[in-house]
Amino acid sequence: MRFTKEKIIILDFGSQYTQLIARRIRANGVYSEILPFSAPTQKLQSNEVKGIVLSGGPHSVYDKNAPCISSKILRFGIPVLGICYGHQLISHIAGGDVEKTKKSEYGYAHLIIKRKAELLKGIPRASQVWMSHGDRILKLPPHFETLAQTENTDFAIIKHKQLPVYGLQFHPEVTHTTIGNRILKNFLFKVCKCTGDWDMSSFIETSKQEIMHTVKHRKVILGLSGGVDSAVAATLIKQAIGDSLFVIFINNGLLRKGEPEAVIENFHPLFKKKFFYVDAENEFLHALQGAKDPEKKRKIIGKTFIKIFEREAKKIKNIMFLAQGTLYPDRIESMPVQGPSSTIKSHHNVGGLPEKMHLKLIEPCKNLFKDEVREVGKLLKLSDTILSSHPFPGPGLAVRIIGTITKMKLRILREADTIFIDEIKRNGLYNKIWQAFCVLLPVKTVGVMGDKRTYEHVIALRAITSSDGMTADWYPFTKRFLTAVCNRIINGVTGINRVVYDISSKPPATIEWE
């Protein structure tokens, strides 16, 4: 069963922005699905497929083993939009020339439209776009024309003269491109003739039907964290199969202050005898002893979680399925599941358990972004307290303590983090910020407190704004706010004598420090 009769296929060539393209398309009410660039062409010729987007990527079309597609795709009659690498690839396979630029172009560019087209309806003649490329088109292929240019790129937008095939040298999916969403909307509704029938209500009903059809009367187990992702997954599955769902909440000792108690209070009444709590703080801290590298810490936490979860799950007989609250960004940042993209960081809720426990996997939210999951949660009538909570990493505070983990460091970080969030809420800023937290740095600095020399830890504050977590910018707190937070932390948390504020955006930084 499918909850929409139309979709846009995105062929992934390894861009870290591929999922952002998908998100932008869905935000316009059209379902988008990502496939590897090597997907069989018959998958692209379904009646449901209204258009094809070729993503960007880190390669040159002239690289050995550069990812490529058949030129037949351009002649299907299905609209095609190439972005960055996809733009260059269209030219390359259609008979044009692509060259290596002397200097990579990264950042803002001034776009000038030279010729009208359906893709550019309502677009001003001049606008700002975002470039990120090392190659560019030198000569157009036969039957193509240029629609727009920049100072450094004569062929910033190209189009086939007869076929609905377009190429953009810039990235319309990033907010830096001021006309980006308008271009995508034109592609969806004017070029592809989509109607826009994608919404979360139909997703919920279809998901429930699929879960019931898959599970029938067999048992499902889910590792509950108390965050938005696992809470929505648990509630959706619970509504689909009722008492066949068992949840295990493992306290890894890496949660924020008061979090274990809040999870028990929120979820035990819903699941009653099907709710199992495990206090595993000492086991996790022992396993993490001496570990400094962030990837090593993540893998230790994932391995320890699997061991404990497997041990507890054996107490429940005849489990057939494992449910997880995995989201799209989890899958993208963990492994190159779609195209030749690079791994940013591993997530312990992606892979491992199903193979270890010989369980079939259920991930009802695996193709959703965080804001879509929150929308699903609202429709499922989850509490605002849960839905509005800021994202929290699976490895918890372990990746917010740079370096080794100790109980003392956890105490310092918890106390500082509690003060920071309290001040944010007290000033009415919590719902204006996508994510806010403290990071304990692996350095000590000299200070003076009470006329005495101190040599204590440094805390970094991090607060960002975002719509989906794929791109982010730092929140512009007032000097008065930062001063108040700094004073409360230094005066109230033993072991800290300096507070700094991180003003890095994503990209080039990530949201979390590790």
| Cα dihedral 285, 286, 289, 295 sign | negative
DSSP reduced 3-state for 483? helix
Beta strands in 140-295 (DSSP E): 144-149, 157-160, 165-168, 219-223, 245-251, 275-279
Nearest to 278 by CA among 324, 322, 309, 319: 309
Per-residue DSSP letter, 5 = S
Per-residue DSSP letter, 358 = T
State how far the Cα of 87 lies from the Cα of 247, in Å rounded to an integer: 47
- Beta-bridge mates of residue 220: 245, 321
What single-letter amino acid sits at 462? R
- Beta-bridge mates of residue 461: 438, 501
Query: From the candidates 87, 92, 133, 173, which is the catalytic residue?
Result: 173
Backbone angles phi, psi at 207, to 5 degrees: -60, -45
DSSP reduced 3-state for 393? coil
Q: Is 171 a catalytic residue?
A: yes
Q: Is 87 a catalytic residue?
A: no
Rg of the chain in Å (alpha carbons)? 25
Query: From the candidates 59, 87, 92, 171, which is the catalytic residue?
Result: 171
Length of the chain, in residues: 514
Query: From the candidates 84, 365, 438, 486, which is the catalytic residue?
Result: 84
Nearest to 329 by CA among 185, 472, 196: 472
What single-letter amino acid sits at 210? E
Q: Is 84 a catalytic residue?
A: yes
Asked if residues 176 and 20 have their Cβ atoms less than 8 Å apart, the reply is no
Nearest to 153 by CA among 60, 87, 79: 87
State how far the Cα of 88 lies from the Cα of 56, in Å rounded to an integer: 9
Cβ atoms within 10 A of the Cβ of 509, count? Answer: 15
**DSSP H or E stretch at residue 320:** strand 319-323
Asked if residues 468 and 23 have their Cβ atoms less than 8 Å apart, the reply is yes
Nearest to 243 by CA among 277, 215, 264: 215
- Residues marked active site are found at 84, 171, 173
